[in-house]
Amino acid sequence: MTDAFALERRRRAVNGWLLLSPALIMLSVFAFYPSLATVVTSLWSRGTRRRPSEFVGLENYQYLFEDPTFWLVAWNNLLYAAVTIPVSIALALAMALWANSKIPARSFVRTAYFTPTVLPMIAAANLWLFFYTPSFGILNQIGALFGAGPVNWLGQPGTALWAVSAVTIWKEAGFFMIFYLAALQTIPPDLKEAAEIEGASRWTYLRRIVLPLLMPTTLFILVNAMINSVKLIDHLFILTKGGPSDSSKLILYYIWENAFAYFDRPAAAAMTALVLAVLGALAAFQFLVLDKRTHYR
């Protein structure tokens, strides 16, 4: 009898692995193997026709750390994250609070906030070109009304990164709003009534009741926004190509450039390995810290 039971369990286990195998094969080929290959490639020299590729240990990383462009790009990405993450989260929260309150034209407002989310980043960049172009861009025309001189938003190192960040915020905020909106709708209305009876101001209610209740959502959005600050670079291809003089270049763009424009695969691999390490740390943070609270069931 135990034999039949064990057999049944074996059968189920085999079934489980069989069901899982197609996805596992694809994940191995296009995620796990490439991750390992990245690390391996980053330890070998760039092969040329005369000198084949050889094992060089951490030399590629050393070159990378000596490359001032790498540090500039890393710094740019840090700034990009430091601006786009908090601003888009704060805007998303404001949008959600407004879209959830009784205001006129609420459905229009909601749609307007969310629309950028369904547009390709490339198209978004094209739309924003109209704002930024030096000769007739809308920003400069508005500036001229107030007597400001023309600014070449995308063409000077001081503004290019911020111009690029603005597009990212525009694209992201409405997306994050949705998650706040969902969370807001789960807050029982009694809480608001109770707060009003106690004489709490709207601001106190927001700060002491709403924001703490939204904390899990905020963390979820935060992790997503961090991933996006690595991933969202498509608009660079249209707006700045990382220039002028690398002032708006971000890590993933630089990886692309090294691999597919300069054909320096080891350098690109070394950078990818570093990005993977950062994302891995983020994953560990998510699984070990955040999921302790919201465990998957």
Partner 1 sequence: MSRFIEPAMAILLALLWISPLVFALWAAFHDVSDAVNFRLSAPLTLDNFRTAWEGAPWLQYFLNTFLLVTLILTGQFFLCTLAGFAFAQTEFRGRDTMFILVLLQLFILPEVLIVENYRVAAALGLLDSLAGIGAPYMASAFGIFLMRQAFKSVPKDLEEAARVEGCSTLGVLWRVYVPAARPTYLAYALVSVSTHWNNFLWPLIVTNSESTRPLTVGLSLFGAPENGVDISVISAATVMVIAPLLILFLVFQRQFVQAFLTAGVK
Segment 152 to 181, residues that bind partner 1, using CB under 8 A = 170, 174-175, 178-179
Task: Report in angstroms the alpha-carbon separations of 26 from 13, 19, 34, 36, 179.
Answer: 20, 13, 11, 15, 30
Minimum CB–partner distance for residue 10 and partner 1 (Å): 9
CA-to-CA distance for 126 and 180, rounded, in angstroms?
29
The one-character DSSP state at 44 is B
List the one residue from 121, 154, 163, 225 that touches partner 1 (CB under 8 A): 121
Do residues 71 and 58 make contact, with C-beta atoms less than 8 angstroms apart?
no
Minimum CB–partner distance for residue 115 and partner 1 (Å): 6
The 3-state secondary structure of 65-116, one letter per residue: HHCHHHHHHHHHHHHHHHHHHHHHHHHHHHHHHHHHCCCCCHHHHHHHHHHH
User: Encoding tokens for residue 11?
Assistant: 């059968």
List the one residue from 56, 67, 72, 126 that touches partner 1 (CB under 8 A): 126
279 lies in the site for partner 1, by CB under 8 A: yes
# residues near partner 1 by CB under 8 A:
96
List the one residue from 44, 168, 234, 242 that touches partner 1 (CB under 8 A): 234
User: Encoding tokens for residue 288?
Assistant: 């070990």
User: Encoding tokens for residue 182?
Assistant: 């969902």
Task: Report in angstroms the alpha-carbon separations of 34 from 30, 31, 42, 52, 60.
Answer: 6, 5, 12, 22, 18
Residues in region 236-265 near partner 1 by CB under 8 A: 237-238, 252, 255-256, 259-260, 265
State which residue, 83 or 171, has the beta carbon closest to partner 1: 171
Do residues 226 and 117 make contact, with C-beta atoms less than 8 angstroms apart?
no
Backbone angles phi, psi at 133, to 5 degrees: -50, 135
State which residue, 59 or 264, has the beta carbon closest to partner 1: 264
Choose one: 18-26, 48-56, 80-88, 152-160; the region binding partner 1 (CB under 8 A). Answer: 18-26
List the one residue from 3, 49, 51, 103 that touches partner 1 (CB under 8 A): 103
Minimum CB–partner distance for residue 209 and partner 1 (Å): 18
How many other C-beta atoms can be found within 10 angstroms of the C-beta atom of residue 27? 12
Q: Which residue carries 């290959």 as its tokens?
A: 37
Minimum CB–partner distance for residue 169 and partner 1 (Å): 11
Minimum CB–partner distance for residue 1 and partner 1 (Å): 20
Choose one: 44-52, 113-121, 144-152, 206-214; the region binding partner 1 (CB under 8 A). Answer: 113-121
List the one residue from 105, 145, 197, 261 that touches partner 1 (CB under 8 A): 105
User: Encoding tokens for residue 128?
Assistant: 């924003």
Q: What's the chain's Rg over C-alpha atoms?
A: 25
State which residue, 91 or 161, has the beta carbon closest to partner 1: 91
Minimum CB–partner distance for residue 158 and partner 1 (Å): 22
Choose one: 25-33, 68-76, 80-88, 193-201; the region binding partner 1 (CB under 8 A). Answer: 25-33
